[in-house]
Amino acid sequence: MKTVFEPERIRSYISEYRLEAIFAKPDALPLQLRVYAGGELVLKEGDPLDGLYFQVSGRTKVSSSVGTGKSLLLRFCHPLSVFGDIELLQKVVVQSEVEAVRETAFLYVRLQAVETALMQDPPFLNALLRHLSYKLQTCTTASRINLLATVEERLASYLLTTRMQNEFGREIQTTHTQEIASLIGTTPRHLNRVIRKLADRNILGKGRNALVVLDWERLDALSNGLRYD
């Protein structure tokens, strides 16, 4: 993580996402611009909360650990997303792991400033309520996927959710299949069986070190419209 000292860039994000409607006095608020590289943890489950994070660029992955020690995928997040709101209101440690998928920037407000400058501000509290409602909706969707969908549907949903124009392309490294299996709640062996089945149907191709999506439309049909975002 690096802290970027660029007041103009901070002001541009405030304007882009209309944060002046959330922060009564944004110029007086000690905002930091924090930038995380792809693969870097933003929040670690079980750590004490240090502040609120407003995602203003990039893409993040949110997952939660289960009893076996594995992680289960909850959602992918885009701007504008807020992290730390649940922990702030419930006064608990960080509940989910947040990882930057690619370089991602956040406007960060330390916990003390949130408590003293924002918690009595109705527009700020209304904004938190909207974000919490959205999280409830996405967590409900993730629960439905993880509990009721088949492994084929979960894999298709994962691949379609993680597809990024001009960035993700069609190729997925096979070295990541163990991580994918954990995230979608299955075993690597079962996942490999599903991959072989989809390869036999010419939906996926399996090269030496990578998977290639051959037919996004049929993959979309297989997902039944479910997404992790």
pLDDT in tens, 72-104: 788 888 899 999 999 999 999 999 999 998 999
DSSP 87-146: HHHHT----SEEEESSSEEEEEEEHHHHHHHTTT-HHHHHHHHHHHHHHHHHHHHHHHHH
177 or 109, greater pLDDT? 109
What architecture does CATH give domain 2-147? Sandwich (2.60)
CA dist 21 and 126 (Å) reads: 10
pLDDT of residue 171: 40
Q: List CB contacts of 61: < 8 A, sequence separation 6 or more.
A: 73, 76, 77, 98, 99, 101
User: 125-145: b or e for each residue (b if 16 or more CB lie within 10 Å)?
Assistant: eebbeebeeebeebeebbeeb
What letter would DSSP give residue 48? P
pLDDT at position 135: 82
Instruction: Locate the domains of the chain by residue range.
Output: 2-147, 150-223
Q: Which residues pair with 34 in a beta bridge?
A: 3, 106
Q: Would you say 181 and 187 are in contact if contact means Cβ atoms under 8 Å apart? A: yes
Residue 55: the pLDDT is 96
Indicate whether 169 pLDDT > 70.
Answer: no
Instruction: Classify domain 150-223 by CATH architecture.
Output: Orthogonal Bundle (1.10)
pLDDT score for 69: 62
Q: Where are the alpha helices (DSSP H) in 149-204?
A: 151-161, 177-183, 188-200
Per-residue model confidence as pLDDT tens digits over 43-78: 999 999 999 999 999 999 898 886 656 777 888 888
The more confident residue out of 134 and 56 is 56
pLDDT of 145 > 50? The answer is yes
Residue 165 has what pLDDT?
A: 39
Q: What is the pTM of this model?
A: 0.75
Question: Position of tokens 């979309």?
Answer: 220
For residue 170, pLDDT over 70 is answered with no
